[in-house]
Amino acid sequence: MDADEVPLYSKKFGKQMERDIVQFVAFNDYKNDPIELAKQTLEEVPRQLVSYMASKGISPRKELLVNMNNYNFFEAQKVAFMHDLLGMGFSDEKIQQILGIGLPEYSTDLFKIHAFNPYFRNLLSEATAQMFK
């Protein structure tokens, strides 16, 4: 189903498919890095969305255009999250400490809970690491 190398051919419709809808990612390569796993899994989505919209004659408004080659969604999300935390009074050192342990999502409420818990451990990351040793 992943047609990155060879385009899919539909016998039913007698034509080559314009795009695939599946992205296979080697889980073991990213099992300890959920951000990179998500990035690799979703990597083709922006290009496929643009391709689909172009095939329907739908153009983006110029003021909303983003250079997809230079835009890193996950890095932008992390920077915005860190900016919010700095604005809440957390030190850069504390932010790096908690992010180093890992959070399942960028949530300021979740961060506040873990920032004041000296026993915080990312059990999901630890369990995943144990499963795939």
Q: Which residues sit opposite 9 in a β-bridge?
A: 16
Ranges of the chain whose pLDDT falls below 70: 1-5, 20-21, 61-71, 103-104, 121-133
Are residues 78 and 64 part of one domain? no
Are residues 55 and 32 part of one domain? yes
Are residues 76 and 62 part of one domain? no
pTM: 0.39
pLDDT digits (tens, 9 = 90+) for 20-46: 667 788 889 988 888 888 888 888 888
- Chain-centre distance for alpha carbon 115: 23
- pLDDT (0 to 100) of residue 43: 83
Domain limits at 33? 1-68
> What phi and psi, each to the nearest 5 degrees, are found at residue 18?
-75, -30
Amino acid type, 54 = A
